């Protein structure tokens, strides 16, 4: 009996030691990415302009790193908050912890004014911060890693041009074991897309769709990983403030459940209708349809780029997947009670 107890004890000690070593390895050796490149990006007006277009209308960096006005349809960014960060993503939205979009303005105390160009470039394309800590992949760096070097540099140049905003953002706090898993996700930058490839319209559409992170939202996930068989078939769930649920649309060319019956003009108009600020002024009721899709930002995408995305989508295999787009927030017991009292 004593011998059995000793064996069990030794086994438990061994397991605890192995577990401690694994945790130590994850904490100290990962993320395993290269040092930030020693680069200085020329802040030429044309490069800044390209970065402004990408950060506001394609990669939509400004969407997450600003304050969104959820009293209006699709939560457009609030003027004067561009880049200051602070948006909260926590358990109420289905995240494994509490995460904040950081301040990416050039403020030296609360923003990234003390980061080098190389550190910003590495964060965008490899998913680690200035001090080498992993970023939660809500920041779609796995998509941005396919960005051309020129476009990544353009975004860095544009971010540098933002007005500094003094705005302290709390640190993100991933839950365990996500705090350890998170360290395994960042990788060295994938091979950047070469500009010459983008001369083909379908290739350009695929590139823009990737950089825009469309697959991040329009492909359902299981255990945090995208379901390859459902690429762009929709169904990813997004809880909305107030308890409603919206699901991403099927954007494959399936004619029954996707966009297979759409024309290129209809696809473009679906975005461009939100170029009119009046389309964003409605204050949706708690049970009215709303969406996390940043329509006001994507509406600024160039028509030629939208047509290229449409052409790429039409080149894909149709994927039948019926989506229930929206579920209103459930009525609260107090609301039900009020309705009962007010009933004639």
Beta strands in the chain (DSSP E): 88-89, 97-100, 173-174, 221-222, 225-226, 237-239, 245-247, 326-327
What is the structure's pLDDT at 263?
Answer: 98
Q: Is the pLDDT of residue 340 over 80?
A: no
- Using the predicted structure, report yes or no on whether residue 343 has a pLDDT greater than 50: no
Task: Give me the mean pLDDT over the 230-255 stretch.
Answer: 92
Q: Residue 281: CB partners within 8 Å, gap ≥ 6?
A: 72, 73
Among the listed ranges 195-199, 232-236, 288-292, which one has the minimum average pLDDT value?
A: 195-199
Percent of the chain surpassing pLDDT 70: 84
Task: Please determine, for residue 9, whether its predicted confidence score (pLDDT) is greater than 70.
Answer: no
- Output Rg (C-alpha) for the chain, integer angstroms: 23
pLDDT at residue 194, as a whole number: 67
Neighbours of 212 (CB within 10 A): 22
For the residues 12-20, what does the mean pLDDT come to?
50
**Residue 25 in contact with residue 184, Cβ under 8 Å?**
no
pLDDT (tens digit, 9 = 90+) per residue, 181-196? 999 989 887 566 666 5
Is the CB of residue 79 less than 8 Å from the CB of residue 88? no
Task: Give the DSSP letter string of 33-61.
Answer: -PPPP-------HHHHHHHHHHHHHTS-H
pLDDT band at 1 (very low <50, low <70, confident <90, very high): low
CA angle, 144 as apex, 33 and 170 as ends, to 5°? 75
User: In the prediction, which pLDDT does 221 show?
Assistant: 86
pLDDT of residue 15: 52
Q: What is the mean pLDDT of residues 284-295?
A: 82
Task: Tell whether the model's pLDDT for residue 175 goes beyond 50.
Answer: yes
Average the pLDDT over 101-116 and give the result. Answer: 97
Beta-bridge partners for 128: 134
Using CA atoms, how far residue 209 sits from 16, 187, 307, in Å, is 45, 21, 11
* Lowest-confidence region among 29-43, 72-86, 109-123, 228-242: 29-43
H or E element in which residue 326 lies: strand 326-327
Segment 198-221 mean pLDDT:
92
Q: Which helix (H) or strand (E) holds 341?
A: helix 333-342
pLDDT of residue 136: 94
Identify the weakest region by mean pLDDT among 167-176, 207-216, 270-279.
270-279
pLDDT of residue 244: 86
Is the pLDDT confidence value at 17 over 60?
A: no
Is 50 exceeded by the pLDDT of residue 24? no
CA dist 82 and 210 (Å) reads: 23
> What average pLDDT does the structure give for the chain?
86
pLDDT band at 342 (very low <50, low <70, confident <90, very high): very low
Ranked by mean pLDDT, the top range of 25-29, 280-284, 286-290, 339-343 is: 286-290
Q: Which tens digit of pLDDT belongs to each residue from 304-313?
A: 999 999 999 9
Q: pLDDT confidence of 5, banded at 50, 70, 90?
A: low
């Amino acid at each position: 009996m004593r011998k059995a107890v000793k064996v069990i004890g030794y086994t438990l000690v061994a397991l605890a030691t192995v577990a401690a070593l694994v945790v130590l390895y994850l904490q100290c050796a990962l993320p395993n990415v290269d040092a930030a490149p020693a680069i200085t990006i020329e802040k030429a007006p044309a490069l800044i302009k390209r970065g402004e277009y990408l950060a506001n209308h394609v990669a939509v960096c400004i969407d997450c790193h600003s304050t969104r006005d959820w009293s209006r349809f699709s939560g457009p960014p609030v003027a004067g908050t561009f880049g200051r960060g602070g948006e909260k993503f926590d358990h109420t939205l289905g995240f494994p912890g509490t995460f904040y979009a950081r301040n990416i303005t050039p403020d030296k105390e609360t923003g990234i004014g003390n980061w080098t160009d190389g550190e910003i470039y590495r964060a965008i394309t490899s998913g680690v911060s200035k001090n080498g800590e992993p970023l939660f992949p809500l920041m779609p760096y796995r998509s941005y890693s396919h960005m051309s070097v020129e476009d990544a540099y353009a975004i860095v140049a544009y971010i540098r041009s933002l007005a500094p905003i003094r705005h302290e953002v709390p640190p993100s706090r991933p839950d365990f074991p996500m705090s350890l898993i998170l360290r395994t996700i960042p990788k060295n930058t994938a091979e950047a897309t070469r500009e010459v490839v983008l001369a083909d319209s379908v290739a350009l559409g695929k590139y823009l769709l990737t950089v825009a992170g469309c697959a991040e939202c329009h492909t359902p996930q299981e255990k945090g990983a995208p379901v390859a068989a459902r690429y762009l078939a929709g169904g990813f769930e997004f809880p909305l403030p107030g308890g409603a649920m919206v699901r991403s649309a099927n954007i494959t060319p399936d004619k029954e459940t996707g966009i297979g019956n759409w024309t290129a003009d209809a696809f473009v108009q679906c975005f461009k209708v939100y170029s009119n600020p009046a389309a964003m002024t409605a204050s949706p009721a708690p049970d009215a349809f709303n969406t996390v899709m940043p329509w006001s930002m994507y509406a600024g995408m160039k028509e030629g780029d939208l047509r290229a995305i449409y052409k790429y989508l039409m080149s894909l295999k149709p994927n039948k997947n019926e989506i229930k787009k929206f579920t209103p927030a459930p009525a609260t017991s107090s609301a039900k009670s009020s309705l009962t009292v007010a009933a004639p």
